[in-house]
Amino acid sequence: MNEILKPLFHRRAVKAFEPVEIPQVLREQILDAARRAPSSFNTQPYQFFWVESSPRRATAAKLCMGQMPAATASALVVAVADIGSLAATSQAQLDWMRRSGFSHAKIRDYERTAKIGRILFMPGPFGIFGAVKWAIFRLLNLWKTMGMPPLFRPDLLKWATKSTSLACQNLMIAAEALGLNTCPMEGFDGRRLSKFLGLSTRYHEIVMVIAIGKKSPAYAQPPQWRRPLEATVTVL
Ligand SMILES: Cc1cc2nc3c(=O)[nH]c(=O)nc-3n(C[C@H](O)[C@H](O)[C@H](O)COP(=O)(O)O)c2cc1C
């Protein structure tokens, strides 16, 4: 099998881990792989919390309902969709472009796109701008082919969740390629876990928690089942 596909096909949601320490060099490679995932407008609208120190990990595991993968993992990675970092991210990219010697035209283009992005993605107080933009886009859409940008806060969080999920999958495949195992989890108390991590209810939403470690030899992995290809794919 193709070397890149191997970890992809071998990855399983592992429900019990043995206690191993994940070396810093592996942690960094895994997190670096996560952020290499594509993201909408390259905004990278997420944050990862790598929880490994023992009292914090125990608390986080408890907030994952004490699930076995959480309770036995070497680390818990909390993946957070973050819509509060957009302005800082575009400023950081702009600074990087200036430092890297991009042409004035390219920098101006990026500034313009970032400005449009800010206007499009800003829901404003009580979602007021969102409602106005929704009406404008709906009207324009009557005679023009166009996509609808995320307008209200829940749409924005859903938008950020897409990019966050892609980064999560990269993270899991990278862990697998480096000889570790993972289990993605959405069984957690989002309110308490957010509070524990000091997240903002306005800008952050936990997308998933990924338990990471080395599969316990005592864990018997059930066979993997998938719907047949023709049930999920339409070739047109
Ligand atoms: C979004 C998401 C949430 C999940 N939540 C949990 C969970 O809370 N607890 C758990 O044990 N497994 C969880 N899983 C793992 C799935 O049960 C697992 O991926 C699925 O059964 C397929 O198994 P496989 O990944 O080994 O092929 C979750 C997976 C995804 C993608």
Q: Distance (Å, rounded) from C-alpha 78 to C-alpha 216?
A: 22
* pLDDT tens digits, one per residue of 128-187: 778 888 888 889 999 999 888 888 889 999 999 999 999 999 999 999 999 999 999 999
Closest-lying ligand 1 atom to the alpha carbon of residue 165: 1
User: Which protein residues touch ligand 1 with a CB less than 6 Å away?
Assistant: 12-13, 15, 67, 69, 183-187, 208, 224
pTM: 0.95
Q: Whose CA is nearest to atom 22 of ligand 1?
A: 13
- Given this model, what pLDDT does residue 128 score? 79
C-beta separation of 46 from 82 below 8 A: yes
* pLDDT tens digits, one per residue of 67-110: 999 999 999 999 999 999 999 999 999 999 999 999 999 999 99
Tell me the CB-side half-sphere exposure of residue 224, using CA atoms within 13 A. 8
Expressed in angstroms and rounded, the spacing between residue 52 Cα and the centre of ligand 1 is 21
Q: Whose CA is nearest to atom 19 of ligand 1?
A: 13
- Does the pLDDT value for residue 126 go beyond 80? no
Closest-lying ligand 1 atom to the alpha carbon of residue 64: 8
